[in-house]
Amino acid sequence: MTALSRLLPVSLLVLAMPAAHADATPTASRPAALALTSTATIASQYVSRGIRQSWGRPALQAGVDAVHASGWSAGTWVSTVSDRFIEGGRVEWDLYGGYTGTLGQVGVSLLAVHYRYPGASLAGVKYDYTELVPGLSYGAFYAKYARTVSRDFFGITNARGTGYLDIGANQDLGGGYTLNLHAGDGRVAGRGNDIWDWRDIKAGATKSFEGGWSVAAAYTRAWGATDAYDRYTTGMLRAGGALATSNPAKGTLAVSLARTF
């Protein structure tokens, strides 16, 4: 679905970047400033928008971001996922880019994100999809809305117009600690697809250390509009031959260790 770096969604990467000002435009006497960063993460599990993408198992993640002083940015991010949650998929690969700026004290952003799941498909429908994500931020608070512009959404066909509202706060507590709060509401477009609608919450904290290290922990929980998530399965069998089922929306605690270079 998307990412928690994640234990935050990947689209937060642009919202969290420093806002560009109009006078930051490069000139001949002031060369363009391009900041490159990379991050490697090991997580106890990968949870995105309240849904457990790695079936409750550990995940390895890595990303690279390029941010220009003008406010434009681009990046890529990958994570391992479970083929018990994503039929035929073991990797999520995100490609994204956009612009971040300010209007007075309000941060504004527009991000395009393409999610790829190599080799994954459900009943012939690929999991790949694309979103446009406008966002606003003020101080520690943010709000953004991801709208699917591709025909399909995460293995669900004819779901263009699927929307996900993400509101929350990342409050600096001092001493390297940040409080992370989030609430989300997902509505899957298309006739009959609303059985997959869901809502989710997250409460957690991140601790940053010298040398680019950070540790994060968060409790997440999602609620489906129907019982479609209660015994979710792609049809894969367990080692003993029983159908592999799980509730990927149930409450869970995820922790991660990350290093930014």
Tokens at 84, concatenated: 């018990």
- Give the count of domains, the chain: 1
Return phi, psi of residue 179, to 5°. Answer: -85, 130
Residue 251, in any domain of the structure: yes
CA atoms within 13 A on the CB side of 183: 1
- Is the pLDDT reported for residue 54 higher than 90? yes
Q: For residue 210, what are the domain limits? A: 12-260
Give residue 245's pLDDT.
Answer: 85
230 occurs within a structural domain: yes
Domain contains 20: yes
pLDDT(11) > 70: no
pLDDT above 70 (res 14): no
Tokens of residue 196, six digits: 């997959």
41-50: per-residue pLDDT in tens? 999 999 999 9
**Does the residue 1 lie in any domain?**
no
Within-domain flag for 169: yes
Task: Give the torsion sign (CA, 20, 24, 30, 31).
Answer: positive
pLDDT one-digit tens code per residue, 225-245: 999 999 888 777 677 777 778
Which domain CATH number covers 107?
2.40.160.40
Task: Name the helix (H) or strand (E) containing 173.
Answer: strand 163-174
Contact (CB, 8 A) for 50 and 249: yes
DSSP assignment of 195-206 equals GG-EEEEEEEEE
